[in-house]
Amino acid sequence: MVYSSSSIRAFGSLLCRISNGVYLKPHHSFTLRSVFLLSGSFSSSSWYSSSDIKVLPLELQSSNSVRKIWTSSPLCMGRRSCKIAGRKTAQDLKKAKLYSKIGKEIVSAVKKGGPSPISNTALAALIEKVKELDIPKDIVDRNVKRASEKGQEAFIEKIYEVYGYGGVGIIIEVLTDKVNRSVAAVREVVKDNGGKMADPGSIMFKFQRARVANVKVTDVDRDQLLTIALDAGAEDIIEPSMDEYDTEADSSESRVYKVVSSAENYPDILSKLQEEGIKFKPDNGSELLPTTPIEVDDEAMELNKELMSKLLELDDVDAVYTDQKY
C-alpha cells in the first residue's frame, strides 16, 4: 500500500525521534526510495530489551534507486582492523606526549638559565634535540614564552611505581609543576583500574635505562643491522613481536628494531647507521627496558593495557613502561 504524504511525514518524525536514542546493528539499515513502501512490523517483539542494543527492523522500498542511512557509528571490521586503529591512536598519543615533555623541559631550562640559548647551555641542548627529533620549532618558541608567564613554576621530575595484574611492574614518568596534583591523579587512576601503588625502588630495579635507536623492519635487513650495530658498540637488538593478526603491511608503521646502547656509545651508533644509509628515529633522551619480561594470560594483559592507557591520558604523565611480555 502506498502511503499519503501526511503519513510519510509522520513516519519521518517518528524515525527522527527513534534515531536519537537507537542505533542499528551493522547489517541493518533504512532503505529509502522516491516512493515509500513499508515492510516489517512495529510489534513489541521487534525490539530488543532496554538492557540490550535497540534495533528497529524496518525496510523501506520502491522501484527507484536505493539510498541507505546508517544510524550507528562505523565499527571496526574484525580484530586486525581494530588493532591498526589502536596503533594509530597510540602513535598520535606518543607524539603528543613527546611534544609535551619537550615543552616542559624547555620551561624548566628557561626558568633556571634564561631564554637565550647562547648563555643557557641546557636550553641550547634542548633546541638541538628538537631538531634531531623533527619537532616543530614553534614548540620551542611557545614554551620559552610560557616560561616567562606569571605564576608558571619550573617542572619537577617524579617517578611512580605500580603493580599491575599478574605481578607485572609498571613505571610512570611524570614531569609536573604541581606534585600534589600529579600524585593524586596517578593514585586515582591506579585504584580505579585495579592496580596497586608500590614502594619506591621495588620495581625500578627490574629495568635498565638505556639509549635506543628505532629502525623500521622494512628499512633494513635484519642480519645487516645486527652486524653494523653490534660492531658500532650496541649492547642489544630487540626484535619486534608479531602475532597472527599482524601482516607485512602493518610493519612499515608499527614494527621496529630497537638498537640498545649505553649513553657513551649512542652517538657513535647513530653516526654509523647514518653512514650506512639506514634510516632511524632516535629516542627522546632514554628509555626504560625490562631486564626479564613477565608473561601473563590474555585477560591480565588486556587489563594492564587499559591501566597504562588511562595513565597516559593524564597531562602530567610523560611515559609509562612495563615489564609485561607481549
Instruction: Determine the pLDDT at residue 302.
Output: 94
Start-to-end Cα distance in the chain: 60
Instruction: Determine the pLDDT at residue 151.
Output: 82
How much of the chain, in percent, has pLDDT values that exceed 90? 44
Mean of pLDDT over the chain:
77
Q: What is the DSSP string of 135-167?
A: --THHHHHHHHHHTSTTPPPPEEEEEEEE-GGG
Instruction: Determine the pLDDT at residue 286.
Output: 86
What is the distance between the alpha carbons of residues 301 and 304, in angstroms, rounded to a whole number?
5
Task: State the pLDDT confidence band at 242, using cuts at 50, 70 and 90.
Answer: low
What is the mean pLDDT of the segment spanning 168-192? 95
Strands 30-32 and 67-69: antiparallel
Instruction: Determine the pLDDT at residue 261.
Output: 93
What is the mean pLDDT of the segment spanning 263-267? 91
Which spans in the chain are helix H?
5-21, 79-113, 121-132, 138-147, 179-192, 222-231, 248-254, 266-275, 298-312
| pLDDT of 74 higher than 90 | no
Amino acid identity, position 155: F
Of 29-38, 86-95, 222-231, which has the strongest mean pLDDT?
Answer: 222-231
Instruction: Determine the pLDDT at residue 89.
Output: 66
Task: State the pLDDT confidence band at 300, using cuts at 50, 70 and 90.
Answer: very high
| pLDDT of 306 higher than 80 | yes
Task: State the pLDDT confidence band at 8, using cuts at 50, 70 and 90.
Answer: low
pLDDT digits over 78-100, tens only? 555 555 445 556 677 778 888 88
What is the mean pLDDT of the segment spanning 121-132? 88
Among the ranges given (52-56, 109-113, 226-230, 240-244), the one the predictor scored with the smallest mean pLDDT: 52-56
| pLDDT of 296 higher than 90 | yes
Task: State the pLDDT confidence band at 253, using cuts at 50, 70 and 90.
Answer: low
Q: Give the 3-state secondary structure of residue 50.
A: coil
Task: State the pLDDT confidence band at 195, using cuts at 50, 70 and 90.
Answer: very high
